[in-house]
Structure 1
């Protein structure tokens, strides 16, 4: 299946470069490229691409506002990857709060950008590894938990353990090792956690966990399973 991609950036040379890279991949297609946030929203609503690559700083409407507008549309299943040259915690936080599925630096090698698009298209989420754990630490320090956690009572005890580990920025392999189960089992648990909580992807599970007090600074990982 071909993944449709919308590219929004106000630098024509950057757009041309990314489009040329996409053109080398038989499973990826750039269906539109635009130069500002308003055009990004309009084209996303018209084309409903699988993935939108959106720059943070654009004229008329910045990338974060455009992301929020795109993802607030009824029935819109587009996954947004926010691209920027700025390695800033504030940009990461605002991008995720707007609903983005990933935050990537423009310095990312082409092959990693292509991998990120495919990851987002299949429903996973990612942040540039250089900022992932710092983001979690920042959330832990600044996020005041809300008194209620919608959907949390629907999780099994094991699913809650998985949610805590996701909030600690653990990979599937790390979660599997901590719980003494296989990676396929972890993938099933993660899928069920996201479905039951109505979350777009695992990065937003991090947001949920800290916002609702499921994870907190110093709580650490669940105890290993009994033999």
Structure 2
């Protein structure tokens, strides 16, 4: 079961989303909040896996500042922005705040469910238009000669897998430590190699060492 907290200032939107998601056997809406401060309190009480976050909430704390504060308090909570704003400025600010996904409220219901499943798995979710804009911005930054840290493009789950690989954990040990399947670990490992442009496990370890990920608790 994926535990979900819905944050939106419109009661009708919250009830509609709750009814939609509640009809899916693997999704469980554990709570609702009308603004950011309430969302942070509810998240602390209910420990959701995924928070559906509206951006524009006139009363209380807005979606961006709530996302940033929530991720600092509960790093493992995945935030999926669900908004009417098809605007690249909001998109970039949401990602910078720590959101794992950005989806328009006009998206089909199936896409919403898919987005929830994706961010719950530790991956990022963006609709095709958003992805195109991000790639365009990335290429523009490269042309301007800006230093882009690839590590920041990794999802929280990918960073966890990278750190465990660097410490010598096998795929099976990583799966047991993170409570995910071995197949999922292998998928994350493949994504890491692609994003970091490396081909072998030792190269991953070398990269992790440069990033200071070899400290042991």
TM-score, reference length from structure 1: 0.64
| Contact 1:6/1:53 (8 A) holds in 2 | yes
Deviation readout 1:173-202 (Å, 9 max, x if unpaired): xxxxxxxxxxx976532146789xxxxxxx
Higher relative contact order (CA 8 A, sep 6+): 1
Runs of 5+ consecutive residues of structure 1 not aligned to the other structure: 152-158, 160-183, 196-227
TM-score (norm 2): 0.67
Structure 2: runs of 5 or more not aligned: 153-161, 163-184, 197-217
Mapped to 2, the partners of 1:48 and 1:135 lie a distance apart of 30
Question: What's the RMSD between the two structures over aligned residues?
Answer: 2.7
1:133-181 superposed Cα distances (whole Å, 9 cap, x missing partner): 1122123324763498779xxxxxxx9xxxxxxxxxxxxxxxxxxxxxx
> 1:86: how far off?
1.1
Q: CA deviation at 1:72?
A: 0.7
Q: What is the aligned partner in structure 2 of residue 127 from structure 1?
A: 126
Residue 177 of structure 2: aligned partner:
none
Are 1:189 and 2:197 an aligned pair?
Answer: no
Distance of 1:81 and 1:18 partners within structure 2: 13
2:110 and 2:150 mapped to 1: Cα distance? Answer: 38
Q: Contact 1:4–1:31 (CA<8 Å) still a contact in 2? A: yes
Helix, strand or coil at the partner of 1:25:
coil
The equivalent residue for 1:92 is 91
3-state SS in 2 of match to 1:72? helix
Greater helix percent: which structure? 2
